[in-house]
Structure formats: C-alpha cells, structure tokens
C-alpha cells in the first residue's frame, strides 16, 4: 500500500510530523497511551527508538489514531515450542508494534483494524528487504489481547500479554491478495 494514495477517501495514515499534526486533543481513554503520544513520542523518534504513524482526516491536523514501530528481539526461550520449532537458539529479530491507539471518538469503527493492517503491511515490506522473523505486540489489557488474537497473534510462553505473529503468516495475508472486510470503507486500500 502506498502511503500517498490518490483515493478520494478522507482518512489517511501518515508518518508523524510536528508541523503537520496536532496531538494535543488526542484521547484514547488510556492515560499511558495518551501521555506517550503527547509527551514522549518526539524524544523516542529523535533518538531513533521508534517511528510513529498517525491517522488524520484529510485537511485536518488532529491526530485521531496512531501506532509506533521499533526493531526488537525476542529471547528464543520466550517462544512456545511451536513458535521456536526449527529456529536457531538465538534471539529472534522482530518488529515491535509498541503502541497502537484510536481516539475515543472513532473507537468501534474499525480504525484500530486499519492501523494494525497498515502496520503489518509496512512490516511485510520491511521483511522483503531484511531479516524479520515476526511481529510482536505488548497488549495493554485483556481487551487488547482479544483484539490481536483475532488477527492471528499468539501469546509467547508464560507471557499472555506479549503476542507474536510470524512473518510467514503476514506474508500470506498480503501475497494472497485477500482484502479483509470492514463494516465501512477502510483507510487501508
């Protein structure tokens, strides 16, 4: 998917730019996710720890959703037997979706799904250029665990809120040409 789509659809997912995006009114209902976006994200970006993409409506500056990606590793011993099968006994290279949140005004309208699929497509493309074994997420609560499990993520061994999705599963999603359905038109073409 191109980040610069020509579709006449009002919602776009773009890399965060302070001059273009206003995060001051963002409220997803989770104080730690709000605080990170408003007060910590810029430092993480400057230090090269993560990259943040934001959901905005065309012609508006207000951030209505976001996700952050970082390189990461998972200890081999943290994998379940199935997850580690056939892998060398070394730390596993992954991309961490460290945060993903949608403003309360848009929750329940599949924007979380759109952000996740956008992140997975970016990670898929990255996996074509370098070694990435899986996608990892740290679910903030049981509701988030259910959300990620619905997309095929599985918990790591003894860590029910750390979830793992192998890149071969991600590749299947995007190479099959299948487009997951949504109750409204997706921001992810």
Question: Which positions are annotated as active-site residues?
Answer: 148
Task: Tell me the sheet residues that pair with 73.
Answer: 93
Sorted by sequence, the CB contacts under 8 Å of residue 64 that are 6+ apart come out as 11, 26, 54, 55, 56, 57, 102, 103, 105, 106, 111
CA separation, residue 98 to residues 36, 59, 69, 89, 178 (Å): 11, 28, 6, 25, 26
Cβ–Cβ under 8 Å, residues 91 and 106 = no
Q: Which residues touch 187 (CB under 8 Å, ≥6 apart)? A: 9, 11, 12, 13, 55, 111, 114, 118
């Amino acid at each position: 998917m191109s980040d610069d789509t020509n579709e006449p659809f009002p919602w776009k997912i773009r890399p965060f730019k302070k001059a273009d995006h206003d995060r001051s009114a963002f409220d997803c209902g989770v104080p730690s996710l709000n605080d990170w976006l408003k007060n910590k994200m810029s430092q993480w970006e400057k230090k090269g720890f993560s990259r943040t993409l934001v959901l905005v409506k065309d012609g508006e500056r207000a951030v209505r959703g976001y996700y952050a990606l970082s390189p990461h590793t998972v200890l081999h011993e943290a994998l379940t037997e199935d997850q580690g099968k056939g892998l060398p006994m070394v730390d596993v290279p992954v991309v961490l979706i460290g945060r993903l949140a949608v403003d309360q005004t848009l929750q329940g309208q599949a924007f979380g799904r759109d952000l996740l699929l956008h992140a997975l497509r970016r990670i898929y493309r990255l996996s074509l250029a370098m070694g990435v074994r899986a996608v990892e997420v740290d679910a903030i609560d049981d509701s988030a665990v259910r959300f990620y499990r619905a997309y095929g993520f599985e918990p790591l061994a003894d860590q029910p809120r750390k979830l793992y999705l192998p890149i071969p599963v991600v590749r299947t999603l995007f190479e099959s040409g299948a487009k997951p359905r949504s109750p409204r038109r997706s921001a992810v073409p």
